[in-house]
Chains A and B, each alone.
Chain A
Amino acid sequence: MLTFVRQEIFKLVKSKLFALSFLVLIAFVILMLWGFYTYSKHKTGGQTEFKYTYENASYFNGLIFSLYSLYFAFQIIIPITVSILGGTQIAGEARAGTLRFLLTRPLSRSRLFLGKYLVTALHVYVLLVFFVVLNLLVGLLVVGWGDLSLYPGPLNLVKEPSRLQEDEALLRFLYATVTGTWSLMTLTSLAFLMSVSFENPIVAAFCTLSIYVLFSVMGRVDFFVDLKPYFFTVDMEFWRDVFKPVIPINEFLYRTCRCGMYTVAFLLTGLIIFERKDILT
């Protein structure tokens, strides 16, 4: 199993998808910088000082930039990346004609399935760490760090003005890499389920993303208020609770367990389908 995982990591690192996944996030950070720069220029009549708002001279610093960037990326760009990463794992091998070859090795289908899942989970974690570190570094270089001031409204994080000290805020970013990864494992597991259900990685990724976007949109429309508790996308948003001044432990653990439920349910279903599937390619 270890050997298989090492091989998969090697394959992953050598693949174009690996490099592309990082490039997309770099492009996003550049876009965020451009967005903030032009917004501040527009709002301050050309002075490009976005530091002064909320009558707080240090509101907009590298930490708040990183938080905004992470928050916005989590809405769609990271889920797209994760859907593609997960969707290509089994379906991609089937499409390339290498899945049968892989299964001729002395490796059970369950180990193959879980091994690939483990490697994908590692990839997602590394991506998230890279993204957070990149944002923090860019924020430090362009604006500088400071305390993380939070206000009700934008980011939908707090109900009253709050503040995290710089050291504490940096620690919360570290926590966010873990909670973010856990949250994304739900989507990754769904992508794996689609990947074993379809022979085509594009269809698998498309289905995963469609389900994610559908639930995500419906979860924010009041028509579906009764259905909302059953959408996994609602539970996935727990990752940002680590940025609240006082982390609501009960709610946090509740959502963590719910994400775990969905993750394992999708994974188990995918495994059962994969084991019974007749591999023809």
Chain B
Amino acid sequence: MLFRITGSMDVKFFLAGLFLTFVCGAWYFDPERTKAVSPPALTDSPGFSLLTWNVGYFDDELDSRAHSEDLSHIASVISGAGVDCINLQEIADSNQVSTLKGLLGARYPYDAMGKGSRTDRYVVTLSRLPFENETLTPSLVGRDSVAVRFDVSSPPLSITVVNCHADAFNSRRRRLLANYLIDWEDRAEGKKNVLLAGDFNLDLTPIESSDLFTDDKKNDSEAYSLLLRRFRDLGGQAGPTSIFNRRIDYLFLASENLETVEVRVIQGKVVGRMDHLPLLGRFKVK
């Protein structure tokens, strides 16, 4: 066709027509235009819900742990979420736990706090349901995780929730934590419904990132892939959980008895210089 065009105006008209065709094509195939949003499914079945939230501040701050002046706000967010279990990270000390429980009233009487030999910040699990707890001590990581086991619904279903906070600066340690969690889940008896909920600091940022290949990305990718062999990543569609559009807080589930009802990031709830958003998960028993 090009060879038969005699005038330059014809060529320009042809190109202009082609341009308009592509514009129409781009409009027609625009994924944003065709995206459908499904509302979360509602259910009356007995269920379980939890919230995970790193309540610390941005790393640049002098003290990037949770600040006591924010505890009343944290309590109001927790009360508003109305969940069974809360996993918090970056708690500075047991006084903050006591204050928080006081602010929450009698709603969350049970708590478990991780320890650590080389850390100044801890994971804390609060619950309105009684549980048995177990401290997980991953080697080389320095900061303990906490596993709590609940009995929910009737007939009783045992759910184990693990509260983790992986190293923010060392991807090898994050990989080691993932290895440890998989080994622990392998060894554990009676742990059929396991939820890992916490700040894993696995920064994969598919598609968007400018990093082509770094050791950090490789280690994080391996850690994430390892976890996906046993667990499902529930928060993939929930969006970023931290500043700079990073998704580094995760809910992983290994269970045949629990069905996910809703996983979402609660927006607009940070105060001070917090850099993480709360991640909420609701489940029903099959």
Contacts and interface: CB of A to CB of B under 8 A. Distances in A.
B244 A108 contact: no
Given A2-B3, A154-B218, A156-B206, A268 B213 contact: no
Interface residues of B, number: 41
B233 to A, nearest CB: 7
Interface of A is mostly: helix
B222 A254 contact: no
B207 to A, nearest CB: 5
A71 B11 contact: no
A157 B19 contact: no
A260 B28 CA distance: 14
A158 B236 CA distance: 12
A167 interface: no
Contact of A75 (B25, B34, B204, B212): B212
B8 A109 contact: yes
Contact of B29 (A68, A153, A254): A254
Interface in A257-281: 257-258, 260-261, 264-265, 267-268, 271-272, 275
A271 B15 contact: yes
B212 A250 contact: no
A220 interface: yes
A55 interface: yes
Contacts of A153: 204, 206, 217-218, 220-221, 224
B217 A257 contact: no
Which of B22, B31, B209, B233 has the most CB atoms of chain A within a 10 A radius of its CB? B22
Interface of B is mostly: helix
Nearest to A269: B15
B26 A54 contact: no
Contacts of B233: 160
Interface in A150-166: 151-161
Contacts of A253: 25, 29
Which of B3, B11, B18, B236 has the most CB atoms of chain A within a 10 A radius of its CB? B11
A250 B213 contact: no
Contact of B26 (A154, A248, A254, A265): A254
B157 interface: no
A152 B209 CA distance: 12
27 contacts: A54-B222, A72-B213, A110-B11, A114-B11, A151-B221, A151-B224, A152-B221, A152-B224, A152-B225, A153-B206, A153-B224, A154-B217, A154-B221, A156-B206, A158-B206, A160-B233, A250-B34, A254-B30, A257-B29, A258-B22, A260-B22, A264-B22, A265-B19, A268-B12, A271-B11, A271-B12, A275-B8
A-B pairs, top 3 by smallest CB distance, nearest first, are A153-B221, A257-B25, A220-B210
Given A114-B11, A160-B233, A254-B26, 5 more contacts: A153-B217, A157-B206, A256-B25, A271-B15, A272-B12
